[in-house]
Amino acid sequence: MEEKVKLSMLCEFYGKLLTKKQFEFIDDYCNNDLSLSEIAENNNITRQAVRDIIKKGEKKLFEYEEKLMFMKRTLNQEKRIEKVLLELTKIQKDYSDKQISNVLESIKKELNCLV
């Protein structure tokens, strides 16, 4: 997984635990695709200061994930749901019973809401 994407996901999970500046700068860097120079210019600080703030926030995010593992669990859960959906689709194709098909479709809709 690309580092910026991973950082963005971690920020989604744990961003509220960062300082306001750390969250804002990481969000600008990852999600708004601003460069360090652009963030620095927008905030009237040096590029190095922006980099330091982002690095400190990044370190905290990875520490939170190491201890709490929310992102890992969520990604694993999504993989398992996708696997179940695939199996349900196979069953639905192999069996023509209308009731079974309706039940499977209902289950698939519920699981899709979780992904």
Distance (Å, whole) CA 56 – CA 50: 10
pLDDT computed for residue 87 by the predictor: 82
In the chain, where the domains are located: 3-68, 74-114
One CATH from 1.20.5.50, 1.10.10.10, 3.40.50.170, 3.30.1490.20 for 3-68 = 1.10.10.10
State the pLDDT at residue 18.
98
Q: Are 11 and 30 in contact (CB under 8 A)?
A: yes
What confidence score (pLDDT) does residue 24 get? 98
What pLDDT, on the 0 to 100 scale, is given for residue 89? 81
Q: What pLDDT does residue 93 have?
A: 75
Comparing CA positions, the residue from 101, 85, 82 lying closest to residue 93 is 101
pLDDT for residue 1: 67
pLDDT for 94: 74
Ranges under pLDDT 50 in the chain: none
